[in-house]
Structure formats: C-alpha cells, structure tokens
Amino acid sequence: MSLLKLVQNNTKSAFFRCNEPKIFLISSRKLSIVPSIYDGEDPAPKFFSSGIQILLKRLTRPDFAKVFRKRNNSNISVLRTPKYKFVTDEELRMEKLKADKSADRLLQMPPVVKVHKPIDDVLSIDPALIGYDSAKYLFTDISFGVDNEHRTIIERDPDGTLRSCDHAERKRLNQIYFPMQGRKIREPLIFQDEEKFHSLLDRLQYEYVLDRACVQYEPDEPTYHKLTSITYQHIDLKSMYDLLRSTRHFGPLAFYLTWHKSVDNLMLELLQSADVREAVLLLALRQALHGDLSSGEESSALVSQILPTPVQLTKKEQLSEEDIQLDTKCIECVDKYINTNSAMKSQQGLALQGFREHYQQLVELSRGLKKAHGAA
C-alpha cells in the first residue's frame, strides 16, 4: 500500500515537474511558511475604527454576481427559481437597497483581535478532598440568557482545587451544551493534519479553508491566527487575491498584509490590473495603521474623493474629465510611494509605467470621441 502511495506521489510530482515548473517550485510543503500572529499590540481598535472598516470594505471590491452566487444547497431542500418582475424606478431603488443590505451582511468581516490570555483563576483549594475522585468534575452554569463568553464554567480537580476552566475546555463545554452549527467538538482533520491542510492550500481552496476556520475557531484563538496567517501568506505568495475578492475574508487579508508590512505584492497586483485608485486606498490603509509613508497625507486626502465613485469591476471604456483628474493624482501619489517606500521598486515602477501608457491611450481616445461628438 505504502509503495503504491509512493509511486502515486512520484508520478504527481513528475507531472508537476514536466508541466508547470513554477507550481512545483513554490509548493508550500517545501516552503514551510512561518505563521505570524497578532500577539504584540492589539489590532482590534484599529481594525474596528470606522475609517479602516470603510477602506477594507472598499478594497474587497464587492461584485454582486459573486456575493450572491449559489454556494451549496445543504440548507435548502429545493432550489428556488429566480423571479423576474417589472418594477417602477422607485421599487427598483428599494430592491437595490435591500440587495446592498444583504450583501453587507454576507460581507461582514471576521474580526481581527489579539490572541487571548490563558485563564488562571483559582477559586478555592481544599486538600481534604484529595482522593474523592480520580476524575475531574466540570460544572457549567446553563442559566438562560447568558452568552458563551460570560458563562460560568469551573472545574474541581482531583487535588481539590476549584478553578475556572481554560479556553479549550470552555469552548468544548459550550459546544456540548449550546452547539453551534458547523462547529465540531473535535478539531476537524483538515486543521489537525498539516499534510491535508497544505494540500487544500495547494488546490487553492482558500475560501473554503477560511470559512471553515471561521466557524471552527474563535477569532482570538492562537490556532485561528496560525491557520489564517499561513493561508494569507500562501495567497500572498501565489498572488491569488482575486479568489478572495467579493468575500468577507479579503478585508482581514489586506489588514494582515498591511499590519505586517508585506503589502508590496498586493500593490503590484493592483497596479498590474490597473486599479490605481485601490492602490491609493491601500496606501491610505497603511498610513492609518503605521503612519510611515512619505505620500501618506496625500493618499488620505485622496480617499475622500475616491470613496464616492462607484466600485470599478470591469475596465473602463470611456473617461470623464473628473475621472482623469482623479486618476492622475492617484498615479502621482503611487509614484511617490514607489520611489520612496516600496521594496519592489523596479517591478512596481514597470507596472505603473505600463498602466500610464495604457491610460494615456484611453484618455486620448475618450477626448477624441468627445470631440467627434461635438461635445468639447
């Protein structure tokens, strides 16, 4: 059996080697990503501040076609057919508002908070109870209307000590008495077994991994931080940001990269896909988190102009004069960043140059069109 497996593995790697040498080179099993967790300064106040939330939501670039796509039918017995209606403008506006609201709910970001501290709280020590029982007693207060974080859960150890339970036990008992849908009492195999976890990452199942981790773990657990950090770094290495766009995990990803100052790869991807406005938003995010940019103030000033513009999902065909003004300002701002703060100066410079040339053509085209129509 093991021989067979070995042969299979070898054929797999050989296949990689001959077909796609790039993928073979950056296989994460060889890479061994070192997870970095938020254990220093608490990121929560910054993450939850309204300015940063707005930036992260905008960077997510929500595309409703992806947000509202059919994912699975596990909870619905029969798939509902879409309804088509004739509506008035007013009704259409209401429907759009409704869609916005439900998209907001679907895109609510999992919180980024500091790793919790272990609970070490001895309530009483009674050595006369030694020998009462060889097992621990766990007591859970199941009074109505108390949430999981504030529930009293204590243990009586065989040596007679009465203490509050630690986070692992608390989570287990909460799950036993008040089960949460999708969460397992035992850790799922994909998180236990590193081989399986990395195989999922190699198959680019990032959203699945993050969704599953989100349900299985509390946001302040060290395991959650470890798993998400590995996933984010994997995405960053492979530049597969598009897989997380329009999902609720893009915000934490951007926040993670900015917090750990490894934002250059994302910046390069944004410039290559000609999203110079989002690049400025990313700069503003970094300015808000670290405040170490030379072009920081300009980018924060540009944010208020960028936010009212609609989200750009496809490449633009025509440009208005205001768009051109805004974009040139953005290009200047990004250019300044590349020259002073960037670690990938040459690549980003090239990408920006390419964008500039393409943009110049676009500007000429739209101005020419306007002239031809006699508007200018």
Note the residues at the interface with other proteins (CB under 8 A). 123-124, 126, 128-144, 152, 154-156, 162, 173, 176-177
Return the number of the residue (100 or 159) whose C-beta is nearest other proteins. Answer: 159
Alpha carbons 359 and 319: distance in angstroms, whole number: 10
Q: Minimum distance from CB of 181 to other proteins (Å)?
A: 20
Q: Minimum distance from CB of 171 to other proteins (Å)?
A: 13
Return the number of the residue (138 or 344) whose C-beta is nearest other proteins. Answer: 138
Return the number of the residue (77 or 143) whose C-beta is nearest other proteins. Answer: 143
Query: For 272, what's the count of Cα atoms within 13 Å in the CB-facing half-sphere?
Result: 11
Alpha carbons 312 and 245: distance in angstroms, whole number: 13
Q: Minimum distance from CB of 215 to other proteins (Å)?
A: 23
Q: Minimum distance from CB of 142 to other proteins (Å)?
A: 5
Alpha carbon dihedral 62, 64, 66, 68, in 10-degree steps, equals: 130
Return the number of the residue (84 or 144) whose C-beta is nearest other proteins. Answer: 144
Residues 6+ apart with CB under 8 A from 354: 272
Alpha carbon dihedral 310, 311, 314, 316, in 10-degree steps, equals: 40
330-355 burial: b if 16+ Cβ within 10 Å, else e? bbebbbbbbeebbeeeebbeebbeeb
Helix (H) or strand (E) holding 106: helix 89-106
Alpha carbons 363 and 366: distance in angstroms, whole number: 5
Residue 155: phi, psi to the nearest 5?
A: -130, 145
Return the number of the residue (136 or 316) whose C-beta is nearest other proteins. Answer: 136
User: End-to-end distance of the chain based on CA atoms, in angstroms?
Assistant: 76
Q: Minimum distance from CB of 212 to other proteins (Å)?
A: 24
Contact 231, 191 (CB under 8 A): no
Return the number of the residue (53 or 161) whose C-beta is nearest other proteins. Answer: 161
Return the number of the residue (91 or 126) whose C-beta is nearest other proteins. Answer: 126
Q: Minimum distance from CB of 164 to other proteins (Å)?
A: 11
